[in-house]
Chains A and B, each alone.
Chain A
Amino acid sequence: MIRAFWSKIVSQAKQAILLVEDDSNDVLLVQRAFRLAQFGGSIKIVSDGEEAVSYLSRQPPYENRELHPFPLLLLLDLKLPRRSGLEVLEWLRQQPELKRLLVVVLTASRESLDVKKAYDLGVNSYLVKPVLFEDLVILMNNLGTYWFKLNENPEVFNGWNS
């Protein structure tokens, strides 16, 4: 039952992205860039690590699958209140049902320590927020092209279609 249900959700929200970002400015800018990049699909927003975990584990207020579809890609900031991006990543990779979810870090930090840690925890890509807006648009465009058109993505749930 659950599998059948998720299957429907995923197919409906094929190009949903979940953005974990606490900075409202950045949320607006990413949303605008997402729109200008003609990414297609939808972008869902949560503002901290805790909320991200709640969203992904379908806890309230995220029970509604229509409003909160399962994302194909998690766009994760690292510096987050309550639970940091790296902590979210670490948690995610430990969940048997979620561990293959595509995670792309989008952060202001170029610190090599952060980069190393993120990759150690199994991030799929690490991107730095560009200061220039037009660069952000290019970034979003490339992101869509790469992950949703070029990349062969894993099934997030093991044996889900069987």
Chain B
Amino acid sequence: MFAPVAIALLVLVVYFAFKAKRLAIALEKSQNSKPSIDPNDTIRALFETSNDAIAIIDRNFTIVAANRKTQQEFESVFGQKYDIGANVLELLVEQPQQQVQARKLWSRALGGESFTVTEVFEDGSGERRYYEMSFSPIAGEDSTIERALVLTREISDRVRAEQALQQCNERLESRVRQQTTQLTETNELLQQEIRDRASTQSQLVQQEQLFNAFFQGASVGLVILDPQLRYLQINTALAEIDGVPLEEYQGKTIEDILPDLASTLIPLYRQVLETKEPISKTSLSGETPKQPGVVRYWEASYFPLFGEDENDQPLGVGGVVVEMSDRVRAEEALRENEEKFRQLVESIREVFFIYSADYQKLIYLSPAYEEIWGRSCQDLYDNPTRWLETVYPEDREIVRDELVKQFQGQLFHREFRILKPDDSIVWILGRTFWSRDETGRIGRIVGIAEDISDRKQLEMSLQRSLRRIENLHQLDRAVLEAQDPATLADAAIYNLQQLIPCDRATIATFDFEAQTATILMTRGGGEQSAGVGFQLPLPVFQPLIEQFQQGASYAIADLSLFRGSGEMEALQAERLNEFVSFPLQTEQGLLGILKLWLEEPKTLDREQISIATEVSAQIAIALQQARLFQEVRRYTAELEDRVRERTAQLQDINQELESFTYSVSHDLRAPLRALQGFATALLEDYGDTFDDLGRDYARRLVVAAEQMEQLIQDLLTYSRLSRAELRLNEINLSATIAEAIAQLETPIQQAQAQILVEEPIVSMYGNRAILLQVIANLLSNAIKFVAPGVQPHIRIGTELQNETVRLWIEDNGIGIDPKYSQRIFRVFERLHGNETYPGTGIGLAIVRKGMERLGGRSGFESTPGEGSRFWIEGQLPKRES
């Protein structure tokens, strides 16, 4: 707002500056030229009369020019006058602050700067005066600044006006601020109110929505009718019950919608409208469009709907309808079920009962109780705990225990006996269960009591049977283990008495040849007079024997039947009067009888009789076996005697044979040695005196003797093979073959025989000496029996068969006709003349006999003219640890 003033001032200052310069120039011109008429007088006048103070100073701060106004102002401010040519700084000596300020300002202007400042001075009266001062440099002709001009204008009024305006302004603004604050607050209050209203509005809407949701969502039927009984509102559930679409109700009456029910419903509504009293839970039934022809059931409540004032007429009627059809039907079904259950429970043989959880109240008891317990149901209804008294005294303890357990949460499950009023015993299986209600709380005790007497009897008889079987087994074992009749009879009676208690039990055996009966074993009374070994004439038992021979399986006998035998009187004295007897019968006939003495033989039941019969049969068989066993033993003993006898005989014979062999080996050879020795001596000592024939004879003597020696040697070997006791062990056949080859070194060399041993050679179980002899004999044959001029080629090998080892020797000899296959293994059997193939005919017999002694075999395969393959078979070496 001060800008235009400033601009105006500036224009003015510039203008005056310009003028001032021209004035200065003029002044100078005037001083120099001193014109008379200065065209610039006007300007001077203006300068002098200007309302602004204008002053010019030079570089020495000397006032060069100043107008009147300047002097006035200076005086009013500084309280002194000055003259042109005065020094500013000097003027202000006494006001150092002003002096410094003046020097600073003037120096700036003299430095060439144009500027405007506002200065404040205090005048003599202490009033603050504001001046606006504009400084401008004034340049000389050479453009150097020699002077400066200042234009000063008091602006105190203006400043004060400005200050006043400013104050006024500030006051106004303050008030505006106040007003604004008030307005803002009001505004917020208003807005709050608007918000509150909006909120209330939405709550209302929400509540209506809630109400609608509740109304429509309710599972019971809800309806509102106006006093004219037109539908105002109805919910989905009721529309569903009615079976009418929701939108059809609008403005309709009950008659429109439910014609069949109108006559039932309308009076109810009217009653509510008239009495203004609600009708609570009334049962309705009828047909709806939903299921025409089907009667349905509901429970309905009706109540008047009032406005603000309950005394006014109701605005309408509200109704709540609940569908009851299913429940009504379920109740009917339940009643039916209960009836079925009752019929079932009352028709079964088991007693069914329901007690209260504390057993103090009997809620239900099925009529079977009367039959099983022999007591009236009413009796137990009256005294619910009395049933414990009916429990058989011995069983009460366990029943009580079981009851205690039941109260600890376990189930009652127990077999026990009860006593009926007629003192008969009935076996009961009692079982109870906790019956829980819907919440899982124990409500009642439900139970079944069952008459298990039949089953119990069956069990007991089964146990008896098992015991019986067990006893029979023991009897069997005893009988099997016993080797002599007395022991087995004892075992049989002992075990039988475990099954059938009797005063005396006896087994008597019959000897039909000797016509006697002997007590084999007896236990119980009468052992003194008629104990083991007691014998009596068989005819005493004739009446029984006859009965059994006619097929009777047992017979009851009174001792009076057997009068005359000493035994019977003695037994009678011990009051053993009657016995039951069972036959000990086998295929071989009647061996004896089993007698059981009893006080009352007729009390034996069927089972006991069948046990005794069974046992009798077993005893009979065992007796028969024992007899056979004894017989066998006797035979065995006889046989053993005979074997011993025979063995002794054989040993004798063997002994003789041995000494015979000894003689043969010793004595038969002596003449041979003489024959050979002297024939040799003849040839050697007297050969010269013999002619050729004589020498030939002598040589034949030598050869014959040698053959005889070989024969004797072989025979001895053969004989020794038969007799010698052999020690068998694992024989390394490879070594044995080598040994045999070494023995036959001379004949092998003579025949130029080639022998090939096919390794590997396995071991055989046998006797070294025999195997060596056998192999040597076979090898010797293989070398010997070749066609003249043929070099023997022999192969030896072994092979493993299942359990045996076979050694074979193959040659390229003359072969053997198969028809001689058996003969050649016999002693002295020869197929060739001694001239062709000399031999004793014992070699192969030794082979066969030797292998027989080793438990092996021997044989050959041959093609005459091509060769033979002889083999021997022995056992594999035994694997001994």
Contact = CB atoms under 8 A, between A and B. Distances in A.
A134 B667 CA distance: 21
Count chain A CB atoms within 10 A of each CB in B665, B671, B672 and give the residue with the most.
B665
A129 to B, nearest CB: 6
Interface stretch (B228-236, B273-281, B675-683): B675-683
B674 A25 contact: yes
B705 to A, nearest CB: 7
B661 to A, nearest CB: 8
Count chain A CB atoms within 10 A of each CB in B680, B709, B716 and give the residue with the most.
B680
A18 B87 CA distance: 199
Contact of A29 (B667, B677, B706, B709): B677
A109 B676 CA distance: 18
Interface string B653-670: 000001001100111011
A54 to B, nearest CB: 24
Contact of B677 (A25, A79, A113): A25
A105 B658 CA distance: 21
B171 to A, nearest CB: 168
Contacts of A108: 665-667, 669-670, 673
Interface in A119-140: 129-134, 136
Contacts of A23: 670, 674
Given A79-B666, A107-B666, A109-B666, A133 B716 contact: no
Contacts of B674: 23, 25-26, 29
A152 interface: no
B673 A26 contact: yes
Given A23-B670, A26-B673, A29-B673, A131 B706 contact: yes
B665 A109 contact: yes
B680 A133 contact: yes
Contacts of A131: 669, 672-673, 676, 705-706, 709
A110 interface: yes
A78 B665 CA distance: 13
Contacts of B670: 23, 25-26, 108
Contacts of B662: 109, 111, 114
Contacts of A29: 673-674, 677-678, 681
A49 to B, nearest CB: 15
A132 B665 contact: no
A32 interface: yes
Interface in B674-699: 674, 676-678, 680-681
Interface string A10-28: 0000000000000101101
Interface residues of B, number: 21
B677 A133 contact: yes
A113 B666 CA distance: 13
Contact of B681 (A79, A110, A133): A133
A133 B683 CA distance: 12
B157 to A, nearest CB: 181
B711 to A, nearest CB: 11
A109 B670 CA distance: 10
Count chain A CB atoms within 10 A of each CB in B658, B662, B672, B673 and give the residue with the most.
B673
A111 B665 contact: yes
A23 B666 CA distance: 11
A107 B666 CA distance: 8
Size bracket, chain A contacts: 20 to 34
A110 B716 contact: yes
A133 B698 CA distance: 14
A32 B683 CA distance: 14
A107 B662 CA distance: 12
Contacts of B681: 29, 32, 133
Contacts of B661: 111
Count chain A CB atoms within 10 A of each CB in B667, B677, B705 and give the residue with the most.
B677
Interface in B705-722: 705-706, 709, 716
Interface in B23-63: none
Contacts of B705: 131
A107 B677 CA distance: 15
B666 A136 contact: no
B665 to A, nearest CB: 6
Contacts of A133: 673, 676-677, 680-681
Given A25-B674, A26-B673, A134 B666 contact: no
A110 B673 contact: no
A34 to B, nearest CB: 13
Contacts of A78: 666
Nearest to B668: A108
B597 to A, nearest CB: 73
Nearest to B708: A131
B666 A25 contact: no
A136 B676 CA distance: 11
B677 A110 contact: no
B673 A134 contact: no
A66 to B, nearest CB: 30
Contacts of A132: 676, 680, 706, 709
A29 B673 CA distance: 9
A132 B666 CA distance: 15
Contacts of A28: 677-678
Interface in A1-55: 23, 25-26, 28-29, 32
Nearest to B674: A25
B712 to A, nearest CB: 9
B335 to A, nearest CB: 118
Contacts of A129: 669, 673
B678 A25 contact: yes
A129 B705 CA distance: 14
Count chain B CB atoms within 10 A of each CB in A26, A78, A109, A113 and give the residue with the most.
A109
A3 to B, nearest CB: 40
A17 to B, nearest CB: 18
A29 B679 CA distance: 11
Contacts of A79: 666-667
A78 B706 CA distance: 23
A32 B681 CA distance: 9
A33 B658 CA distance: 32
B665 A136 contact: no
A30 to B, nearest CB: 9
Nearest to B709: A131
A76 B677 CA distance: 19
Interface in A72-110: 78-79, 107-110
Interface in B525-580: none
Contacts of B709: 131-132
A14 B709 CA distance: 36
A28 B675 CA distance: 12
A41 to B, nearest CB: 22
A117 to B, nearest CB: 12
A136 B666 CA distance: 16
Nearest to B681: A32
B680 to A, nearest CB: 4
Nearest to B679: A133
Nearest to A25: B674
A27 B511 CA distance: 80
A158 B574 CA distance: 96
A78 B681 CA distance: 25
A11 to B, nearest CB: 34
Nearest to B680: A133
Count chain A CB atoms within 10 A of each CB in B670, B678, B706 and give the residue with the most.
B670
A24 to B, nearest CB: 9
Given A25-B678, A108-B673, 15 more contacts: A25-B674, A29-B678, A78-B666, A79-B666, A108-B665, A108-B667, A108-B669, A109-B662, A109-B665, A131-B669, A131-B705, A131-B709, A132-B709, A133-B677, A133-B680
4 closest Cβ contacts across the A-B interface?
A25-B674, A131-B709, A29-B677, A133-B680
17 contacts: A25-B670, A25-B673, A25-B674, A25-B677, A26-B674, A32-B677, A32-B681, A78-B666, A107-B666, A108-B669, A108-B670, A109-B666, A111-B665, A133-B673, A133-B676, A133-B680, A133-B681
Interface of A: 23, 25-26, 28-29, 32, 78-79, 107-111, 113-114, 129-134, 136
